[in-house]
Every structure is written in C-alpha cells, then in structure tokens.
Amino acid sequence: MKGRLCLLCGNNEIVPYFKGLLKCTSCNFVTTDLDIDASDIQKIYSKKYFFGDEYVDYMKDKEILQVNFRRKLESILGYKNNGLLVEIGCAYGFFLELAKQYFEVKGYEICQDAVDYAKGLSLDVESGDFLKANIPENSVDVITMWDVIEHLLEPQRYVGKAKDLLKHDGLLCITTGDISSLNARLRGKKWRMVHPPTHLHYFSRNNLKLLLENNGFKVVHEEYISIMRSLRQIAYSMLMLGQKKHTKLFNMLERLKLSHLKFSLNLRDIIFVIAKKQ
C-alpha cells in the first residue's frame, strides 16, 4: 500500500495482513486499516468501556487487577524505588494506589468517570491526553503504560514524549501483546488480542525494542508475564465480546455464582518491558 508510512520505521511498503490489518514489510509492525481520530478514541473509552464493552465490571475485579499490578511494581522496584512515577492511561487508579507507597504519583486518563474515581482515592490524576502534559523535561523517574500502547493513535509520539520527560536513567515500562509469539501465530486472526478499533496496533518483541531504541532507550528487562483474571471476566471475553454473543450461556454461568474464582495464566504472548533512558 504505497503512500502510507510505517509508524515505527518509516517504510512505505505496507501490505494487507489479516482482514482489516496491515503489515510493514520491513519491521513487521501490524496496524489497523481504519480511519479513526481523537474524537473517535474519546467515544470508545467512556465509562461503558469498563462496564460492558471491554470489561464486564472493572470495579469488581479490583483485587485481581491489583495482583497483576503488584507483580509489575515489584519488578520496577528492582530498578527504582522512589521519585516521580507517571502512568499513561491509569484508568481508575488501581496501579497508582499501590505505587504511591514508594513514589510520588501522577496519572493521565481520558475516561472522565475513571478520573473522578481516582481523585476520590486522593490520587493526582488529570483528564486528558498525556501528549499535552505540562510536566518539566528531565523530571520524571518512571513512566508506565500498562496495556495502553496498542490503543494509541500514534504510539511513537508517546514514547518520544516519555523520553523528553524522563531523567537520565529514567524508566519506561510497557506491557502489550506480542504478535510474533507462538500463541499469536497459531491463533492467527482469532488471536484474542486482535479486536480493532480498541486495539489499533500489534507489536512484536523485535519492533517494540526497535521503537524504544530509536527513541534513546535501552531495554533492561523483558519477560512474558502471567495474567490473573476472574472466571467471570474470562467467560465474558469468550462469550460476549465479538460478533457472536452467547448471552444465554453467559447468564447461566452467572447464575452458578462462580465469579469469585480466579486463574493466573501465562500464554507467553503478553510482553513486559522495562527500558532505561540513555
């Protein structure tokens, strides 16, 4: 597809991949073939995203979500344990609530309902885009993006902004799906992470590293992480998300009242990276 440049490497050879997806022939970065803008993004990430669209009930899974966040925080503390930590896409502030035990924390989130809740936790959270953040350059110690970079219109701009704001040796921490993983390749277009328009971009381990290195970072920590989920959320994702909805089956599982059960799985397709500013 001539005329369209890869967001990561600038290559203009972009070819069809799966239906609705395009792939760079140089760095293998995969992106959606959608005409979408900031106003569309704002509409997607309303309160409904967390209660019915993507999640069945984000709030009810707070304890489980914080198990996942605590694991990531423990990894960060192996490199830095104080200073200013900024979270991009902080949702309802569940990670910041844990991180404030060690860091001064600040968050950015475009869902107003989530911002209001986080402020109720006495967290410093702003409603709006991180790209417009009024933070002095070279003043931040840690920036996190938990399952966020795949949702952004221009992910490379966020990484560039993070570099400007971080101190020397500051950390940029990212989790995202790895489309080059064995599970993603076996599942193909049915891989659970492929669901535009919420997921706009699909990184591999190699091209995520390329993006970071091109912006002055060195990857110092890289692993596939396990994710804990409630049975209720797993069932909701499998039965209710997508074109074919199995409402009766989901409701039957709800009546069995097994939603308190939880599982921790590592399908080795979610990559966790910590990169240090050089």
Express each pLDDT in 194-226 by its tens digit: 989 999 999 999 999 999 999 999 999 999 999
- Domain presence at residue 9: no
Assess whether pLDDT exceeds 70 at residue 1: no
- Domain presence at residue 24: no
- Domain presence at residue 12: no
> Percent of the chain scored above 90 by pLDDT?
82
Per-residue confidence (pLDDT) for residue 30, from 0 to 100: 97
Assess whether pLDDT exceeds 70 at residue 24: yes
Assess whether pLDDT exceeds 60 at residue 2: no
Q: How much is the average pLDDT of 124-129?
A: 96
Assess whether pLDDT exceeds 60 at residue 125: yes
- Domain presence at residue 29: no
Per-residue confidence (pLDDT) for residue 123, from 0 to 100: 98
Please, what is the Cα angle at 112 between 211 and 136, to 5 degrees?
A: 50
User: Domain span at residue 210?
Assistant: 34-277
- Domain presence at residue 17: no
65-119 pLDDT, tens digit per residue, is 999 999 999 999 999 999 999 999 999 999 999 999 999 999 999 999 999 999 9
- The DSSP string of 41-82 is HHHHTSHHIIIIIS-S-TGGGHHHHHHHHHHHHHHHHTT--S
Assess whether pLDDT exceeds 90 at residue 233: no
Domain CATH for 161: 3.40.50.150
Assess whether pLDDT exceeds 70 at residue 263: yes
Give CB contacts under 8 A, 24+ apart, made by 240-244: 240/56, 241/54, 241/195, 242/195
- Domain presence at residue 47: yes
Q: Which residues have CB under 8 Å from 25's CB, separation 6+? A: 11, 13, 14, 15
- Domain presence at residue 1: no
The total of structural domains in the chain comes to: 1
**CB-based contact 84:142 (threshold 8 Å):** yes
Beta strands 30-32; 21-24: pairing state? antiparallel
Residue 86's H or E segment, with its range, is strand 84-88
The rounded distance, in Å, linking the Cα atoms of 193 and 212 is 22
Residue 161's H or E segment, with its range, is helix 155-165
- Domain presence at residue 232: yes
Per-residue confidence (pLDDT) for residue 243, from 0 to 100: 62
Kindly report the pTM of this predicted structure.
Answer: 0.94
Integer Rg of the chain from CA:
18
Per-residue confidence (pLDDT) for residue 245, from 0 to 100: 75
The rounded distance, in Å, linking the Cα atoms of 186 and 180 is 10
